[in-house]
Every structure is written in C-alpha cells, then in structure tokens.
Amino acid sequence: MTLAVRYTAARTLDTAPALSAPPGVGEVELAPAYVGICGTDLHIFHGDMDARVAAPAVLGHEMSGRVVRVGPGVEGWQPGDAVTVMPLRWDDTCTACRAGHQHVCQHLDFIGIDSPGAMQQRWTVPASTLIRLPDSLPLDRAALVEPTAVAVHDVGRAGVREGEKAVVVGGGPVGILIALVARAAGADVRVVELSAHRRLLAEELELTAWNPADDDVPALVREWTGDAGADVAFEVSGAAGGVDTAVDVLGVRGRLCLVAIHPRPREVNLHRFFWRELTLVGARLYDRTDFEKAVALVADGTIPVERLISKVVPLTQAPAAFEALEGGGDVMKILVDCTDDTDATDDAQGDAV
C-alpha cells in the first residue's frame, strides 16, 4: 500500500492509501521522487476544471523518479533508471495526430489531469512516455524538466533567433524559464512582472526586469530597441493588461507567442496587428524533442532551475503547499517529496524563498 495526494472537491485535497498494480503490457511502474505543483494544478484545486477532472483524482505531471518494475514487452528500461515523464497519451488516429502533431491530439489524455498523475509513491505509465535522465542530474532539479520543455517549445514556436529582442510578459516560473531559454538561444531579453520578489529573482539570474505598475514599458522598449520595437513577445501573465503590453511592445512584423491560458475572451488591438503586420502564434505543451533539449539545458546548468525551487515538502504536506502557492508572488516553485511521508518540512532549496 502506498500514499497518494488526491483532489476530492474544490479546495479539498487529501493524502490517502493507493493500490499499486503490477505494470501491464508496455507499461512501467515508477517511484516518483519529486513532483512540482504548477498553475494548472492550482486551477484544479480551485474547482475550475471539475468538468474535466473526475474526483478523486491524483494530481501532478512535473516529476522525476526511478523505474521500479517493467511490464511485458518493455525494452530498454530497467529498475533504477532515472526518468521523467512526458505526460501525454494520444490516439494516433485523429487529424492532428495524422498530421504529425500528436502533442495536440484532438482526444489527448494529459496524464495528471485526465488520468492519474505523479503525486503518489508508485505510478504506472506507458513506457513510451519515459524520458531518460543523466545520472549526474539531481532528481529535485529534474522535476523542473517538464516546465523547461514548455519553455523550449514556446521559444521554438516563436522562432526566436540570435540577436533578436524579446519581451516576456509575466515573470512566474514558466515566464522565467522562457526568458532563460530565449537567452540561451541568443536573444536579448526583458521580463515584465508586477511582483517585486519575482523581479528580484529575474535580476539575480542576470535578466533585466521592469515593473509595469511604475514603468512605461512600451517607452522603455522603444528606447531599448532604437524605436524599432521588440521582435517577439511572450504573453505569460494570463491578464488582459498583459495582452495589451505584449501587443504594444512589438515592432513591424513582430511575433506574439501566446503561452498563458486565458479563461475568457480578451479584447485585442487588431489594428496594431494590421498596421505592423504582426503574427500571433499559440504554444501548447511540447514534443519529445523539446523534452530532450530541456534535459540537456537543465543537466548542463544552462537553465539553473534550482534557483526557482522555493521549498520542498513531504507528501503529507502537499495540501498545505497548494494553499501556500495561492499567495503567488513570494513563492515560485514548490516540490513535493514523494519519498518522504513524514510531517516535517524540508528546508527551502535554492535562493528563491
């Protein structure tokens, strides 16, 4: 018998025993080590996704861990292998899959939302979802490979090139990761963020950060770019004002990459799109190539993900961690230690506390 964190109703989580069945054909049983709590998990916690999430539901899709058992027909994996999971299961028959876009399958099973996730001591998944981790990569850092893969995909969708000027609107975990990945691609990057704590972290990572409450961001961009405007902007805030800023900072033929999930339709300055021949691209999830690149960027230290880890808590304290994250600005990323079912919290990891 193992433990799992379950969503049971709006703003209600529990830690309960869970059965661990042997892996079936093509499946692998994992022992999750660390699981990150992300913004989507918070939406589920608030009850915003009850139409999609069937309670009781085990949450979590940002994870690292090790193989425990392999099922029949699985080759190339053995107990003890360090892995993360690309939590996507597609049907391979819909129009999107047939066109090669399996990550946006029209009947996608996002594991950890549509089916049981990683916030448990044993987790069985298809072997096809496994991504190998180097033995040198600490498993707490490896838990941030999944959000880094999101950032890699976003930067790729935006077509960021060396020497371009990029503005990231929203300095939460994904926004900071996008800024770091864009910088690694050779872009000159600015971050727009209201939270003083998040701006400070960005600056500690040698990113220039602006406060939209005090700064005239479009004016700063004009000064920075010699009145040309930015080549690319990423909207990661999820706020109406963030959309306005992302559009306003773009120069002629600039690209706006929409990353945040907006729960309702937004007004957009379409005249600006017409006048400057702007392009809007959506960016959702990732593919295996994005994941493998994210592993490399995290493993070699190009993306110092440890700086985003605010705190590590044992499995039994995961419900309290969700409440702590609701405050937003002073916390970046909380990891749940699935190997630890005690009631004592670990010390905060990294510098983002």
First to last CA, the chain: 34
Query: How far is Cα of residue 269 from the mean position of the Cα atoms in its chain?
Result: 28
N residues, the chain: 353
Q: Residue 60: which region, alpha, beta or left (left: phi > 0; alpha: psi -120 to 50)?
A: left
17 to 58, 268, 281, 293: CA distances (angstroms): 11, 48, 43, 36
70 vs 181: CA distance, rounded Å: 34
Which residues does the annotation mark as catalytic? Answer: 40, 43
By CB atoms closer than 10 A (0-12, 13-18, 19+), residue 57 is: buried
121 to 60, 149, 293, 335: CA distances (angstroms): 12, 24, 27, 14
By CB atoms closer than 10 A (0-12, 13-18, 19+), residue 90 is: middle
